[in-house]
């Protein structure tokens, strides 16, 4: 199961104020862009040939993977059994994703401000 991360304002034009203080309404609301963050299990499933992401993700959806999940997948791909094949499939998967870095802002709980060096 994939959980979409959607910004409520993605793709929506701003409402512009008219001189009389009223606001214009958009005539047509464009489709909302959907981004998906894969966890390690969902990243490993295509590598194990248990999931075809193309069956579940449309071409206009952007896929993300955290650097931590990427490191876990890389570690698993280096296992001795079929490691060359595993690494080739991992390279293909990573080419289709955007890797999200793990930095100081990611290590702070949402209720706290990120630490400054």
Tokens 């280096």, located at residue: 78
Give the chain's domain count.
Answer: 1
* pLDDT for the residue 66: 92
Tokens 């199961």, located at residue: 1
Helix (H, G, I), strand (E, B) or coil at 34: coil
Is residue 15 situated within a structural domain? no
Tell me which H or E stretch contains 64.
strand 62-66
Q: What is the DSSP letter of 80?
A: S
Q: What is the mean pLDDT of each run of 10 residues along the chain (117 residues)?
A: 45 51 56 79 88 82 91 88 87 91 69 60
Q: What CATH number corresponds to the domain at position 64?
A: 3.40.50.1010
Tell me which H or E stretch contains 73.
helix 67-77
Core vs surface per residue 61-80: b (16+ CB within 10 A) or e: eebebbeebbebbeebbeee
CA dist 108 and 112 (Å) reads 6
Is residue 46 situated within a structural domain? yes
Is residue 61 situated within a structural domain? yes
Is residue 116 situated within a structural domain? no
- Residue 89: which domain range? 32-103
* pLDDT for the residue 46: 87
Q: 64 near 37, Cβ under 8 Å?
A: yes
* pLDDT for the residue 24: 56
* pLDDT for the residue 58: 81
Q: What is the DSSP letter of 55?
A: G
Is residue 60 situated within a structural domain? yes
């Amino acid at each position: 199961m994939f959980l979409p991360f959607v910004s409520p304002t993605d793709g929506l034009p701003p409402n512009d104020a008219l001189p009389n203080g009223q606001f214009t309404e958009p005539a047509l609301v464009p489709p909302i862009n959907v981004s998906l963050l894969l966890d390690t299990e969902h990243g490993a499933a295509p590598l194990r040939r248990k999931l075809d992401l193309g069956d579940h993700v449309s071409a206009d959806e952007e896929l993300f993977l955290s650097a931590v999940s990427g490191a876990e997948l890389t570690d698993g791909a280096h296992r001795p059994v079929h490691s060359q094949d595993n690494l080739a499939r991992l390279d293909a998967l990573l080419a289709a994703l955007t890797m999200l870095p793990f930095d100081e802002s990611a290590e702070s709980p949402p209720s706290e401000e990120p630490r400054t060096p």
